[in-house]
Amino acid sequence: MTSKEQVHPGFFRSVGRFLSAARAVTANILFLVVIVVLLVLVFSGEDRVAVPDGAALVLNLDAPILEEAPRPEPLELLFSGQDSARPIEMRDLMHALERAAEDDRIRALVLDLHRFPGAAPATLNSLGKALGEFRASGKPLIVVADNLTQSQYFLASFADQLYLNPMGQVLLTGLALQPTFFASGLEKLKVNVNVFRAGEYKSAVEPFLRDDMSSEARENAQQLINEIWHSIRAQVAGNRGMSPEMLDTLIEEQPQRLRSTRGDLALLALETGLVDELLSRDAGRDRLIQIVGRDQAGETFRQIGHRDYLRDALVTAASRKKKDARIGVIVAEGTILGGEQPRGAAVGEPTVRMIRKARQDDGVRAIVLRVNSPGGSAFTSELIRRELELAQVAGKPVVVSMGSVAASGGYWVSATADRIFAEQDTITGSIGVYGLLPTFERSLASLGVYSDGVGTHTLAGAGNPMQPLNPALADILEQRVAQANRQFMELVARGRDMDLADVEALAEGRVWSGLAAHELGLVDELGGLASAISQAAALAGLERWDVDYLEEPPSTRDLILERMLNSYAGRSLMGNAPRGPWQGLSRMSRLLGEPILNLDRLLEADQLQALCTACTIR
């Protein structure tokens, strides 16, 4: 090839640069197109979902029920891809039921419990009351079930018509409170757990000190579950038209009675009046079709899921003019921890900021704090309580509404409110403080690892987990715990207008049902969130008001994710609940993991704990 025929090297570089630029431009254009399409798909769909005339509202309880649901993370959304990955907020259920009772388009309510994972007694009681109020509208409540656990059956018992699959079962067991204990395991690992507590009933640290319940904790726990079971059995028995004693007898005599039906639990449920009729899935579907008619496709009964129904409600609410006066509702859901905490997962600095914002907002005339927390950091609990007190000083009434649990730190934040409301099955009290500091010198010594050194003062190096607990530090921690516990009781005495001696007699870490707490003066009224809101309005002198759930605004990313979640279709009513060998393993991991997670929370630096770790009833 001659020199004239050779192509200059710069030519290839120019072509390469052109191709690279073209590729980058094309990729950017495609990326923008994908983003635009995604946004169009998310935001351009119909906001209002058509509610069929004469339809059944399907309350699909396919996820845990919380006062406030955590916002979804992108990976969680990616891998779950289903609506059930996100917990259901109690206020959504309440709103759907209240609206449906007055909605002429809704002819009946169908309660879908196939995937309901259960809930705490107070949560069940609150939802049960709402179901009862819906029934008072004259519209039927229907349950078609395959199998019913005790939690599921509590809600199903409110139904006008309760149908069970002939191959199904109803298994009632009563209540249990069964903490997991680690003392022997920690001893084998040669871990020293140093505990500083106030109150002989403060059982939160027992799992790390013992292999069983102390007599004081056992006495308190037995009293608690007996009171809550008395409430549950009275409600279920009343719903099914039997005596409470008969329900106890059915539970105790299940093995003997089952022999008469040759092991057929479904037949036993029918014969004992626990269900109204045995129907297969297809027969149950036909029965629902008879009540509300067929859908447009002619495949099943005419229906709308509660999530779609709530979308319709949101559009209606958005078009309504807001009132000038508002009751600000702030939700405290989860363990109380220091610092920034995600929405619905734990309580921390964001709660303090929201209370302050409500105090400074002239449109918010009163504050309702909805507490669903076993407590946690005593320091953060006091930050929240103090912010509420500043709102009271500013002339805004503060009312606390207790959910399933408002114990220890959950009671601390409530103590000085103007009024405290609780459900009769709320777990509350646990007035007491403790500190916990493990050391690992024996564990490390067994591996041939030791710690030694020098210091300028007695306390120098105190808190080193590789050495035995410094006696001077132990003395300081004991005094701190005693002081914080004394402060806790003084707050309760001042807030509930009680003598300090009376508070001391009720404290020592004991837990109470909401009913018992009301009788003892720790709670002012028995009632749910609606009652607390009405009381707040009355204290503020309001005749007309709007309810405003106050929370920190989500990011644009969170808004898109929530819109995507809300756009997913609900699951089929007659779908199968997840089953299989992994269920037992999953339950075991929860039983072991929760106490370990609590221990991790207890080890927050410089934090005394007001936490009830034995408040989970199964």
**Would you say residue 307 lies in a domain?**
yes
**Would you say residue 584 lies in a domain?**
no
Residues 296 and 328 in one domain: no
Long-range contacts of 170-173 (CB under 8 A, 24+ apart): 170/265, 170/266, 170/269, 170/274, 170/275, 171/147, 171/265, 172/247, 172/250, 172/251, 172/254, 172/274, 173/251
**Would you say residue 188 lies in a domain?**
no
Instruction: Identify whether the C-beta of residue 562 lies closer than 8 Å to the C-beta of residue 310.
Output: no
Instruction: Identify whether the C-beta of residue 105 lies closer than 8 Å to the C-beta of residue 123.
Output: no
Look at the chain and report how many structural domains it folds into: 2
pLDDT at 89: 93
Half-sphere exposure of 251 (CA within 13 A, CB side): 14
Other CB atoms within a 10 A radius of the CB of residue 583 amount to 11
**Would you say residue 109 lies in a domain?**
yes
Long-range contacts of 388-393 (CB under 8 A, 24+ apart): 388/355, 388/413, 388/416, 388/417, 389/416, 390/356, 390/359, 391/355, 391/358, 391/359, 391/367, 392/416, 392/418
pLDDT at 613: 66
**Would you say residue 211 lies in a domain?**
no
CATH value at residue 426: 3.90.226.10
Q: In whole angstroms, what is the distance from residue 481 CA to residue 206 CA? A: 17
* Closest CA relative to residue 86, chosen from 58, 119, 61: 61
pLDDT at 26: 75
Write down which residue in 282, 313, 344 finishes a domain: 313
Which tokens go with 220? 């308190």
Residue 477's domain comprises: 322-449+464-576+600-606
Q: In whole angstroms, what is the distance from residue 547 CA to residue 326 CA? A: 6
Catalytic residues: 202, 408
Instruction: Identify whether the C-beta of residue 155 lies closer than 8 Å to the C-beta of residue 113.
Output: yes
| 10-residue mean pLDDT series, the chain (618 residues) | 52 64 72 59 55 93 90 55 68 95 96 94 95 96 96 97 96 91 91 79 77 89 94 96 95 94 95 96 95 90 92 66 84 89 79 95 96 92 96 97 94 97 95 87 91 90 89 90 92 96 89 95 96 97 94 65 49 38 45 51 56 70
pLDDT at 48: 56
**Would you say residue 143 lies in a domain?**
yes
**Would you say residue 187 lies in a domain?**
no
Which tokens go with 2? 């001659």
* Closest CA relative to residue 613, chosen from 324, 376, 382, 431: 376
Measured CA distances, 74 to 77, 559, 564 (Å): 5, 12, 11
Question: What 8-state DSSP symbol labels residue 294?
Answer: B
Write down which residue in 313, 338, 362 finishes a domain: 313
What pTM did the predictor assign?
A: 0.83
